[in-house]
Amino acid sequence: MSKRRVIFIGAHPDDADLCFGGTALQLVKGGHLVKFVSVTNGDTGHHLLSRAETAAARKLEAEASGRTCGLVEYEVMDNPCGLEPTVINREKVLRVIRRFQPDLVITHRTCDYHPDHRATAQLVMDTAYIVTVPHNCEDTPIPPKVPVYGCSFDQFQDPRPHRPDAAVSIDSVVDQKLDLLRCHPSQFYEWLPWNQGKKDFDVSKLSAEEERNFLLDSWFPRHLAAAEQARQTLCEIYGEEKGNKVQYAESFEYSPYGQQCGIDEFRRLLLP
């Protein structure tokens, strides 16, 4: 079996864990090579730490997640939050993709709520053609082939809903995915609860079961929704009986911008 090379490029140092963590865990277990990238350093994501302190903490958290997942690397780029889809930033992303030489690139959709997510999606998709154009980033060798490109699940309806061309059951790795989220305490136990109105939240006061349920209740409804939206896709991939039993899923939309392939091949690239 040849090893696939898969890269998820998100805006912040926890986006890959949320959008792709369950799929990544299974790909790594299957012997494939997975890399996570955060295009920003996440430096605005805290209510108490300074920007410099936040960036430093989030880099360490990403590295811990990378070790926990068994990634080739969890790269955090040095761009501050407030990302813009400039030519310079596009070249930075292009170099990352060329160096890793992935078979598959996954990122956000461009209709996301967060400006950094939208900018990241634009930057990544803008590399799909120029990844093999010689006079772009002449300092970085061109990979032997153009990767397949795709986007991760979201629940936004405008201008159109996410299309679940592929879906991966993550039921078997729920606890391992929760471990990835636990690698980012500055986000899941500090900043995000505070930002969502839980000003006095203190994870140290929770039992192990309560802490697990807190993470499940806060962050896994998206995977329930992804499974429901992708039910037909899950049945096509896993068979009707098993597909109908999937509780949590990560789903993905194929993009024709990169290497063109059939939907069966797109699905194969995501499965262990």
- Model confidence at 107, pLDDT cuts 50, 70, 90, reads very high
| Phi, psi angles (nearest 5°) of residue 78 | -95, 15
- What does the pLDDT look like over 151-200, one tens digit per residue? 999 999 999 999 999 999 999 999 999 999 999 999 999 999 999 999 99
pTM: 0.97
- Model confidence at 1, pLDDT cuts 50, 70, 90, reads low
Show the tokens assigned to 8: 């998820």
Quote the pLDDT of residue 179.
98
- What does the pLDDT look like over 120-141, one tens digit per residue? 999 999 999 999 999 999 999 9
Sheet containing strand 33-40, strands side by side:
73-79, 33-40, 5-10, 104-107, 148-152, 249-255, 166-169
Quote the pLDDT of residue 169.
98
Residue 85: DSSP 8-state: -
Quote the pLDDT of residue 2.
87
Residue 189: DSSP 8-state: I
DSSP three-state, residue 33? strand
Domains and CATH numbers, the chain: 5-270 (3.40.50.10320)
Q: Residue 105 in contact with residue 97, Cβ under 8 Å?
A: yes
Q: What is the mean pLDDT of residues 112-118?
A: 97
Percent of the chain with pLDDT over 70: 100
The number of helices, as runs of H, and strands, as runs of E, in the chain is 13, 7
Quote the pLDDT of residue 203.
98
Show the tokens assigned to 175: 């606890």
- What does the pLDDT look like over 13-66, one tens digit per residue? 999 999 999 999 999 999 999 999 999 999 999 999 999 999 999 999 999 999
Q: What is the mean pLDDT of residues 72-86?
A: 98
Show the tokens assigned to 100: 């890793």
